[in-house]
Structure 1
Amino acid sequence: MNQPTRILTLALLLLQLMDSIDAKMSIISTKLDFKVGDEILLLCKAGAEGDITWQKDGEDIDDEEIVNKLDEASSKLVIKKATMQDAGRYTCHCDFDSGHKDDAQIQLFVYDGPSFGSTKTYHEFLEGTDGLVPCLVTGQPQVDVQWFKNQQEISNVGGHMRKQSDNTLRIEKVKREDAGTYVCRAQIRGRPSIFMELSVSVVVNAPPTVRLREEVKKVLAGPETNVSLLCLVDGLPQPNITWTMPVQFNPSRHHFNSDSSQLTIQSVVREDFGEYVCTATNKIAESSATIMLHVFEAPEVFVSAEQQRVLVGEAVSVSCNVTGHPHPELHWLNKQNGQTLSSTSGRVRVVDNVLMIDEVVPSDGGLYSCMAISSSGNASRDVAVYTQPGPPLYLSVSAGPASVHFSLKTTPVSGGTPITSFVLQWKEKPTEQWKENTVPATDPLVINLKPYTSYTVRLSALNAVGRGKFSETHNVHTQGIRKFFTHYQHII
């Protein structure tokens, strides 16, 4: 072979080699993963003219509706609606006009779903029961399911929540804190980017419970007395609270707080006593509790007269009534001697709560108290009995120069009201009328009479009611008036 021939042959070989190098095969696709129903579009570029054919998993594709020749160097494969059977390896083969052969391959993945179908997205469970939260996932190929709460995956190890083999989330002995939003995440196995999430709400219900701080409340009635009855209620959903009262609701005295858990009664009266029933109700159940309110009334005492003025020998009658709850015991007390009057017979007696004194004597005068005694308190009302004073006793009389002095060892019985003065009486002869002089109780008991004269004298006390009985009479002879002389007169 001559030199020119060799040069031409080498040039042809070089040209064929260059054509082989430039004719690169490639398949262009927007993605590798297709959902059932998606359109699949594959573009094969040969890089040089030639005969392009397609294969799937080694089998020729002859369907002209699927394969279309664009030009001598490119072809496209179009599947309008992908099915699961369309997944596989696609090969674009080219027999180049230059005699060179080449191909390009691409692996397509087709999936269906995942889908949650008729999975419920809202569940309610009773506290303490076992809850099942299904996740009805379908998809092809295999679908993996995970459960999340608060962005944390729920582990099957430990705890009271676990995923069952059918992807249902089981919550054992549901707690209140289990309420919230759960996420069921369904992922096509081997394709982390292909997943769907479904939010499921879980509500925990609990029947109402009612707890009382005090089952029995005791208060004393009065305009300044306010009492609060507290009903501690629990339950889910939040229970509605109502009250049943033994009296008609009065908005001016009965007040509730914002959730009606506390009832306040203002200016408590006796009629407020009784059972107060607190009832808590929600859609699960109803519960109630009873508070017994005992209302006590402080005793009050009423007497028919607070003061009685009677003469010695007359009668006294004073009635006494008491009120209060519980009903008080009634007692009459003689405040002069501190003794309780319990006798129902005799001159001084108590009959049907009436103090009765027959034939009053001076020592009956003074204060008497009608007393009411009960567990809710004590009360009393005094009654003053006034009568004439008693006669002066232990009286001594002494004569002075033209005078008589009275001396008392003890003060006469006052008759219940202070002795204001004394009446001093005297006479010379039994047939004469008594003469008298009234002396203030604070002054000396002295009367000026004639000297060297015999007298009969006596004394009585006087108070606001009148004069008391006189003392026994005393006979006394007055002395003469002494005269004093000077020394000069005596010498004469």
Structure 2
Amino acid sequence: MAPPRPVLDKNKRVIPLLDPYAERALEQAYAEQFACAPWFSPGVTDHRYCAENDTITISLSVNGYPDPKIQWKFRGWDVDTTSMSSNIKTTIIGGAETILTITGFSKQNVGQYQCFLINQYGDAQQNIQIDLAERPNFIQPLMDRTCSDGKPMKLDVRVEGNPYPEIKWLRDWRPIVESHRVKFVHDGPYLCSMIISEPIWRDSGIYSVIAVNDAGQATTSCTVTVEADGEYNDVQLPRKKVGIQSKKVREIYEIAEEDEK
């Protein structure tokens, strides 16, 4: 096949913007100026979790010039996106982003996924481990408690889940924060405790623990009663001013006529 002819004007001069050789030369000059090996934008989470039958999406920002070739692998094998039975889909957006989507996640999808970028200046690789998430479960829930004021009180729960859930403590459905009286303790793989060093009667109420992870959440609650010792000398009621007005009794109370007889 003969090479393309240059584009000439009426004076038989080459038009650079239309000349295929000039266009190729410009592209080559641009490539030499901005060319670089491919790389992934930072901030990628390399360990993800997904609940069974849920959908997980992994998005990676791609960099490099010229645009690199993008390839996904699972456990060292090319990701199958063509068969009807495959629940994995890959998408490339403008050569700058690649998205891996898994629908109906199951145990067969657990493992390491690898994304490869390749151009003539180098290559890059990003590994992401995806595990099956398990909903939180309280193997030791909260139990109702009655304690005396001034004596340390401890509430314990044991919870499991994958990944290990985030624990939130609440009283009367309001978040509890640590202070000089309240401490949160995580002991071992399952035990979580809240310790109130000097409880007072105002600490009575409904206490709850919420455990949250990628698979869902679980809640346990109990009623805590703090009994005040002594004669309640520490309880001071606010004083109120009461206005006194002089009025006749009949102006205040309605007296029936039959009662007057």
For normalisation by structure 1, the TM-score amounts to 0.24
More strand by share: 1
> Does 1 or 2 have the higher relative contact order (CA < 8 Å, sep 6+)?
2
Radius of gyration: which is bigger? 1
